[in-house]
């Protein structure tokens, strides 16, 4: 067996939503972030154009078995981070990331689920009959929804790192698009930015992005402090689209990926997703809109590059740092909840930011959540857009107060319950 460089992908239509988002229930587990964590070695980042490594609806995109089928309830499903695997009699995979990658950044999309549930990504194969303490993405029957996940890679098999997915209820199809990875030899490091809005088509003269159209954004800019950025961390929000559709982010000057979606949205909705995208020609990135004119809001929260501040250590087992349903009560409207994200025992020294997953549930009214380093810091940006009666998740690259290891979540709306998981830490030194 031998790994090869990633080959070009066959054309495949990206995902389109088929139903509006409804409430779903996140996994319930007591917070465990205070325990000493099992983390990977600190590593730098390597960005790439999106590559699809799994689509359970398509035989050619299920690299291990070549058999398309939805994930079953309670199932742990392991898959190589690769394309083109052949089995049987002899497996040969075209590796998407190197064997020494410590973690990958992957956009996860679920589609056509049959029950309320969640999917969790992890590095360990999983023990049948058990379930993870955290969730990566939550959903309702018939919904298509995406979320960005930064997850430690699993054991190397057939010269390729693997990931494991867990589906807790019903059946659901899952799609994985890899947009980057971490390795100890990489030199680009992460630097958080004061969140700022760099584009809002509702407020400027550009207007909606038309169907089957591309809009370019200048993201490597002196005034943003991102001059040498090789990849940027954005929050991209689709607002009031005319039709069910999706957005795809990719580097300017490179071909648009044949497959891959970052933000999936139903008509008339407001849907946000975290996006990490490689910076392309002239310091720009492109955003493609598949169908139906849609407004787009783009917030920048950080970047990777030679002038970054630190490297990433992924938790091999993500941990829950807050679940207001189990204690502390809902976050009140116009209120802020501080989250203890870094262990207090000194086991993760020099941590200045975390990769988190933020979930709002039991939502009483439309609004949004904003993640900031400290309380009462109004940035004019949002992290999670929430809708009454819905459960909504989004990943957050959250800068923490280094003296306490905490960050703040501000609730602009009515009371809601808040769930926060930690996937890893950015550290200096």
Distant-in-sequence, close-in-space partners of 329: CB < 8 Å, separation ≥ 6: none
Q: Is the pLDDT of residue 162 over 90?
A: yes
CA distance 421 to 332: 20
Q: Is the pLDDT of residue 18 over 80?
A: no
CA distance 61 to 181: 20
CA distance 148 to 227: 25
CA distance 284 to 292: 24
Q: In whole numbers, what is the pLDDT of the chain averaged over residues?
A: 89
Predicted local confidence at residue 293, as pLDDT: 97
Q: Is the pLDDT of residue 27 over 60?
A: yes
Closest of 79, 121, 51, 45 to residue 316, by C-alpha:
121
Count of CB atoms situated within 10 Å of the CB of 333: 14
Distant-in-sequence, close-in-space partners of 334: CB < 8 Å, separation ≥ 6: 411, 412
**Band (88; pLDDT cuts 50, 70, 90):** low
Average of pLDDT values for 77-95? 79
Contact status, residue 58 vs residue 121, Cβ threshold 8 Å: no
Residues 264, 398, 121, 81: is their CA dihedral positive or negative? positive
pLDDT tens, position by position, 361-386 = 999 999 999 999 988 777 889 999 99
pLDDT tens, position by position, 107-149 = 999 999 999 999 999 998 888 889 999 999 999 899 889 999 9
**Alpha-carbon dihedral of residues 359, 361, 364, 365, nearest 10 degrees?**
30
| pLDDT over 90, % of the chain | 78
Q: Is the pLDDT of residue 28 over 90?
A: no
What is the DSSP secondary-structure string of 37-71?
A: P-BPPPBEEEEEEEEEEEETT-GGG-TTT----PB
Contact status, residue 409 vs residue 308, Cβ threshold 8 Å: no
pLDDT tens, position by position, 310-332 = 999 999 999 999 999 999 999 99
Highest mean pLDDT range out of 13-17, 220-224, 390-394? 220-224
């Amino acid at each position: 067996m031998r790994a090869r460089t990633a080959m070009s992908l066959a054309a495949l239509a990206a995902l389109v939503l088929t139903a509006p988002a409804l409430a779903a229930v996140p996994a319930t587990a007591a917070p465990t972030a205070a325990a000493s964590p099992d983390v990977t070695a600190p590593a730098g980042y390597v960005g790439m154009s999106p590559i699809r490594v799994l689509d359970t609806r398509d035989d050619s995109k299920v690299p291990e078995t070549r058999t398309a089928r939805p994930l079953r309830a309670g199932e742990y499903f392991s898959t190589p981070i690769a394309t083109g695997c052949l089995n049987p009699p002899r497996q040969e995979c075209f590796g998407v990331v190197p064997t020494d990658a410590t973690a990958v950044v992957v956009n996860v999309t679920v589609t056509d689920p049959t029950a309320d549930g969640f999917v969790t990504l992890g590095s360990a194969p999983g023990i049948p009959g058990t379930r993870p303490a955290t969730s990566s993405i939550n959903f309702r029957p018939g919904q298509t929804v995406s979320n960005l996940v930064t997850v430690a890679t699993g054991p190397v098999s057939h010269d390729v790192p693997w990931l494991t997915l867990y589906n807790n209820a019903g059946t659901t199809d899952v799609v994985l698009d890899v947009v980057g990875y971490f390795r100890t030899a990489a030199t680009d490091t992460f630097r958080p930015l004061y969140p700022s809005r760099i584009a809002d088509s509702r407020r400027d003269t550009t207007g909606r992005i038309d169907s089957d159209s591309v809009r370019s954004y200048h993201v490597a800019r002196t005034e943003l402090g991102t001059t040498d950025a090789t990849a940027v961390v954005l929050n991209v929000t689709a607002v009031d689209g005319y039709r069910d559709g999706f957005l795809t982010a990719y580097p300017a000057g490179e071909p648009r990926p044949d497959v891959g979606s970052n933000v999936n949205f139903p008509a008339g909705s407001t849907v946000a997703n975290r996006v990490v995208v490689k910076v392309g020609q002239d310091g720009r990135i492109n955003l493609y809109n598949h169908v139906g004119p849609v407004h787009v809001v783009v917030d920048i929260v950080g970047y990777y590059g030679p002038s970054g501040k630190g490297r990433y250590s992924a938790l091999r087992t993500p941990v829950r740092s807050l679940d207001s349903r189990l204690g502390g009560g809902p976050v009140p409207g116009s209120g802020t909840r501080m989250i203890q994200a870094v262990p207090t025992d000194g086991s993760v020294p020099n941590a200045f930011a975390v990769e988190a997953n933020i979930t709002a549930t039991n939502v009483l009214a439309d609004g949004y959540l904003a993640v900031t380093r400290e309380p009462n810091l109004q940035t004019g940006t949002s992290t999670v857009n929430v809708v009454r009666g819905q459960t909504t998740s989004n990943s957050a690259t959250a800068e923490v107060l280094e003296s306490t290891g905490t960050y703040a979540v501000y609730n602009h709306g009515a009371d809601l319950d808040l769930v926060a998981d930690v996937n890893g830490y950015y550290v200096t030194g």
